[in-house]
Amino acid sequence: MRKLLLHVSALGIVVLAGATAFAQHSRDHGAPGATPAKPAAGAKGGVRIGMEELHRGGGVPPGWRFSWPDGDARKGREAFAKLECYQCHEVKGESFPAVTPDPTRRGPALAGMGDHHPAEYFAESIINPNAVIVTGPGHTGADGLSIMPDFRDSLTLAETIDLVAYIRGLTGGDHAHDHAEGAAERERVAGDYRVRLAYAGPGGGGQGHDHQHGGGASKPAAHLMVFVSDATLGEPVPYLPVTATIHAGGAAPRVVRLSPMLGGKGFHYGADVTLPAATTKITVAIGKPALRLMPAAAARFARGAEVSFEWGK
């Protein structure tokens, strides 16, 4: 009997432990009746979709694309120092140890680089450096491959996320002049729209059109482009009244009405306008669509949206 009681007691401990583990699992993973786990502070909002609809879309939500999560730039700087990335990449204004430049392994300076690429591009460059091989000194080695080392065995996922946040935070700096002379882009979500702002300075590429004077093609004028797409489906949204307000130093804000256009980068709302060197912010305002909205879309697009982009910092 005593042996039986011991077995029953042991069984009770196992069952209790299993119940406790299940309760913990339920709290963590959202079982029926459980309190769902809250996202981390500052985390990006996700897409909500039913399982049946998910499978109808081929296993992903409509217009889905991978979005790199937000990170901690301060911790990213620590990862940058730990890997001694400063051996190859100069970051002006930072107090990393001084190094003797080695032309065979010297990569591009990173001051201002955060404005030039989306987070996903930086992440791929770290995880898979040869996915995109930029030709030329400072990028390609004698073997034709990227000189960027492969860090997949040296970084945790959290460190990689934070490192990308650090690089994305390196705005302005040595590359600030590109805003006026070359092509610069920024992207944000405003309501149900994904808005991407792009600018090609005088004579710069990117706008996809030429101006004809006297039968010959001249250098392209400066061109401001706003790409507006459905944040869920990823499709361009036409027939929108779009304006851009340019804030430059102490001057009065200038409002520019953008027209629908087709260019080398696809459908966009644009205008030939030169941004002043003192431009600090551009605000894009989107009005109500000037086309019939079906019931499925009316609730989302019946209202306008506004989003601001910091510039030249």
| Range from 11-15, 111-115, 267-271, 296-300 carrying the lowest mean pLDDT | 11-15
pLDDT in tens, 104-161: 778 888 888 887 888 899 999 999 999 988 888 888 888 889 989 888 888 999 999 9
Contact at 8 Å (CB) between 207 and 270?
yes
pLDDT at residue 203 in the model: 62
171-183 pLDDT tens trace: 765 444 444 334 4
The more confident residue out of 294 and 16 is: 294
Q: How large is the average pLDDT for residues 269-284? A: 93
253 class by beta-carbon count within 10 Å (0-12 exposed, 13-18 middle, 19+ buried): exposed
pLDDT of res. 212:
41
Strand partners, 267: 262
pLDDT grade for 247, boundaries at 50, 70 and 90 = very high
Pick the CATH number of 177-208+219-310 from 1.10.150.120, 3.40.50.1700, 2.60.40.2480, 3.40.50.10470: 2.60.40.2480
Please report, for the chain, how many H helices and E strands are present, in that order.
Answer: 7, 10
- Rounded to whole angstroms, the Cα distance separating 256 from 107 reads 39
Q: Is 100 helix (H, G, I), strand (E, B) or coil?
A: coil
Q: Please report the pLDDT score of residue 296 as a whole number.
A: 77
DSSP string, 228-254: EEETTT--B--S--EEEEEEETTSPPE
Question: Which residues fall within 8 angstroms of residue 193, CB to CB, at 6 or more apart?
Answer: 228, 229, 230, 231, 237, 286, 305
Residue 149's DSSP bridge partners are none
% the chain with pLDDT above 70:
74
Range scoring the smallest mean pLDDT among 9-13, 96-100, 230-234, 285-289: 9-13
In the CATH scheme, what is the code of domain 73-168? 1.10.760.10
Q: Give CATH 2.60.40.2480 domain extents, the chain.
A: 177-208+219-310
pLDDT at 218: 58
Q: What percent of the chain is modeled with pLDDT above 90?
A: 31
